[in-house]
Amino acid sequence: MSVLVWIDQFRGRVQPASWETLGLARTLAEDGRVVAVVIGEGVENVAQDAIAYGADAVLLYDDPLYRDFRFETYNAALKDATTSENPVLVLFPATTRGRDLSASFACTMDLGLAPDAQAVQVEEGRVVVKRPVYSGNMIATVVVETTPAVVSLRPRTAPMPEKDASRSGEVVKKGAVIDGSQVKTQVVGFEEKEAGEVSLTDARIIVSGGRGVKGPEGFEPLRELARVLGAAIGASRAAVDAGWISYDHQVGQTGKTVRPDVYIACGISGAIQHQAGMRESKIIVAINKDPEAPIFQIADYGIVDDLFKIVPALTKEARKRLGAS
Amino acid sequence: MKYIVLLKQTPDTAELPKITPEQALAGNEGVTKVMNPWDEYAVEEGIRLKERYGGETVAMSMGPEEVNEALKSALAMGCDRAVRLWDEAFEGSDVWGTALVLAKGIEKDGGADIVLTGKMSVDGNAGAVAHGVACKLGVSLLTQVAKIVEVTEETITVERLLDEGRETVVAPLPAVVSVVKEINEPRYPTFIRIRKASRAKIPVLSAADLGLSPEEVGASAAKVKWVNLEKPAPKKRQVVIIEGETPEEKAAKLLDYLMNVEKVI
């Protein structure tokens, strides 16, 4: 039995959820083969890392044609990989790109799709997946009736495998598998996000702000704490709708679903829509002036106080203990 | 130019936690239903495109009669007409079955230059209808779209929101575009438009109208089957309220818990 895993990389930087997905594939494949699919330009080092994280082999589609993520070219490479490996399962990390590509690929190949899985099993050759639906309010168990099955795995649901640089495996160089002149979609510009920002979905720690931060400048103390803790910045819908912070920080039903080790909610009342996006966090800390705020009902630790006093005190204390800048 | 907005009727987000697995499996959630919140952005963008470039904006949805309410909301916002696709044979369709019905509906309506839809539905959460419709129609697919920069006779230029930044992409028309919340702020319909929309007669197209045979759609054609639905086991949490004389004392106590007890920092 073989399992194919697509590795999500952007300009050579791999989304860590890819390695978690590879780790899960290793467990599911038992004695079978785990084959990583790496698509990009100048990404041979990513292929080597895939071996170190547990792949038995890598199909490397390395060509200028793959510099940008485009459905036409990436689907063609995945189709080539699937045809040559004949896997039971094609796994993707459920990153933004992973969810997009898995859906487009599955439809192109007429295969069943189970997106955003939080558990995956192979039972007598059939792939069974548990996935959150109704915006996290219910868990569906679904059976994928096609072989291969196409599944994307929610980030931070499988453990990060150990990297072992001494592992060896074959890297099969495949290059371009379609004629570039046939590809009509063109990426004509890219504007990088502020450097040093930690991605919400991969973050171990999230410092999040709501209505209580009172304005765009109210996020500054939160950012300082996040810098010291190496945390990502989240926000409630109220803060995003007020225009205090951009939408890509929004956690909740109409934003991102996160499950960090620690979620520090500052001035967030904890509407049910917000809870849907963060209640799977391992530890929830609530800092809020209002002792009646619903956030305290789902928190592990609470401080009933002004966030503008508590957050700077936390930053100072954390800096002292962690020796961070 | 012609724009078709694909939308779904879903439970009101505030009511999602009240729905039981039994109700959901029976397809009768027993709660207030509204236009899927993500699709409101698609409807708004469809109307804005008409305002920018002229043409017609059509709202389309697959579902039983109750879905007319969501389609009427789209009309009240400013769509020119609405089309509903329904047949008992559609019941139990998976995402690819739904995409096939919608693609046939678009073709039957004479096609579209731009098909718009929201990022995902708040109930099914698959976020794959746009991908499916583009695939079935064999046209360009643009996802995570935060801005439509320009539309010409032959192309569309958009900004896509990536985890790493913003990307500008040009693709040939026709195209299926799935939008994210950043793209706009949906308008509130005027009282007059709501009244007018409430009287609208919305045509319904059946499987036969769309040239679909029953085995192509519905539960029997589904490639993914739901075998169980359950409420997630709630994490047992008992909040520890941290007391202290000063913010510094509270901060230190909290860090003690996080670093020494929970060991998460």
Is some CB atom of chain A closer than 8 A to the CB atom of B181? yes
Cβ contacts of residue A68 below 8 Å, gap of 6+?
A187, B167
Domains and CATH numbers, chain A: 2-182 (3.40.50.620), 205-322 (3.40.50.1220)
Out of A104, A316, A317, name the one closest to residue B131 (CB).
Answer: A104
Q: How far is A313 from chain B (nearest CA, A)?
A: 5
Q: Which of B102-111, B140-149, B236-245 has the lowest mean pLDDT?
A: B236-245
Q: Rounding to the nearest 10 degrees, give the CA dihedral for residues A35, A38, A44, A50.
A: -50
Are A115 and B128 inside 8 Å of each other by CB?
A: yes
Are B96 and A113 inside 8 Å of each other by CB?
A: yes
Q: Which residues of A touch B216 (CB under 8 A)?
A: none
Is some CB atom of chain A closer than 8 A to the CB atom of B145? no
What are the tens digits of pLDDT across the range A19-33? Answer: 999 999 999 998 899
Are B128 and A261 inside 8 Å of each other by CB?
A: no
Q: How far is A67 from chain B (nearest CA, A)?
A: 13
Q: How far is A168 from chain B (nearest CA, A)?
A: 31
- Residue A199 has a pLDDT of 83
Q: Rounding to the nearest 10 degrees, give the CA dihedral for residues A35, A36, A40, A43.
A: -110
Out of A103, A133, A302, name the one closest to residue B239 (CB).
Answer: A302
What are the tens digits of pLDDT across the range A139-185? Answer: 999 999 999 999 999 999 999 999 999 999 999 999 899 999 889 99
Integer Cα distance of A238 and A248 in angstroms: 14
Out of A99, A131, A191, name the one closest to residue B165 (CB).
Answer: A191
Tokens 């963008």 identify what position?
A: B45
Q: How far is B199 from chain A (nearest CA, A)?
A: 31
- Residue A273 has a pLDDT of 87
Are B143 and A139 inside 8 Å of each other by CB?
A: no
Mutate to test the interface with B, among A137, A281, A285, A296 (most CBs of B within 10 A): A137
- Residue A195 has a pLDDT of 64
Integer Cα distance of A114 and B96 in angstroms: 12
Kindly tell me if the per-residue pLDDT of B195 is higher than 90. Answer: yes
Out of B128, B241, B265, name the one closest to residue A262 (CB).
Answer: B265
What are the tens digits of pLDDT across the range A53-109? Answer: 999 999 999 999 999 999 999 999 999 999 999 999 999 999 999 999 999 999 999
Is some CB atom of chain A closer than 8 A to the CB atom of B54? no
φ, ψ dihedrals at B69, nearest 5° = -60, -45
Are A246 and B232 inside 8 Å of each other by CB?
A: no
Q: Quick check: A90 and A105 in contact, CB under 8 A? A: yes
Under 8 Å CB pairs connecting chains A and B tally to 248
Q: Quick check: B116 and B5 in contact, CB under 8 A? A: yes
Q: Which residues of A touch B140 (CB under 8 A)?
A: 184-185
Q: How far is A171 from chain B (nearest CA, A)?
A: 27
Are B17 and A248 inside 8 Å of each other by CB?
A: no
Are B17 and A141 inside 8 Å of each other by CB?
A: no
Least Cα distance to A131 among A142, A121, A123 occurs for A142
DSSP assignments along A279-302, one per residue: TT-SEEEEEES-TT-GGGGS-SEE
Integer Cα distance of A126 and A148 in angstroms: 9
pLDDT level of residue A125 (50, 70, 90 thresholds): confident
* Closest residue, chain A, to B120 (C-alpha): A254
Out of A71, A185, A318, name the one closest to residue B255 (CB).
Answer: A318
Mutate to test the interface with B, among A101, A107, A144 (most CBs of B within 10 A): A107
Residue B167: Cβ within 10 Å count: 21
Least Cα distance to B222 among B62, B139, B115, B101 occurs for B101
* Closest residue, chain B, to A191 (C-alpha): B166
Q: How far is A55 from chain B (nearest CA, A)?
A: 25
Integer Cα distance of B16 and A275 in angstroms: 12
Q: Which residues of B touch A255 (CB under 8 A)?
A: 181
**CB-based burial label for A260 (10 Å; 0-12, 13-18, 19+):** buried
Domain extents for chain B? Answer: 2-221, 235-265
- Residue A198 has a pLDDT of 79
Kindly tell me if the per-residue pLDDT of B11 is higher than 70. Answer: yes
Kindly tell me if the per-residue pLDDT of A196 is higher than 70. Answer: no
- Residue A276 has a pLDDT of 87
Sign of CA dihedral A116, B263, A301, A231: negative
Are B126 and A103 inside 8 Å of each other by CB?
A: yes
The more confident residue out of A276 and A228 is: A228
Are B232 and A303 inside 8 Å of each other by CB?
A: no
What are the tens digits of pLDDT across the range B17-60? Answer: 899 999 998 888 889 999 999 999 999 999 999 999 999 999 99
Mean pLDDT for chain A? 95
Out of A104, A193, A309, name the one closest to residue B165 (CB).
Answer: A193
- Residue A186 has a pLDDT of 97
CATH class of B2-221: alpha beta
Mutate to test the interface with B, among A9, A14, A133 (most CBs of B within 10 A): A133
Is some CB atom of chain A closer than 8 A to the CB atom of B252? yes
Helical axes A307-322 vs B247-256, angle rounded to 10°:
50
What are the tens digits of pLDDT across the range B80-117? Answer: 999 999 999 999 999 999 999 999 999 999 999 999 99
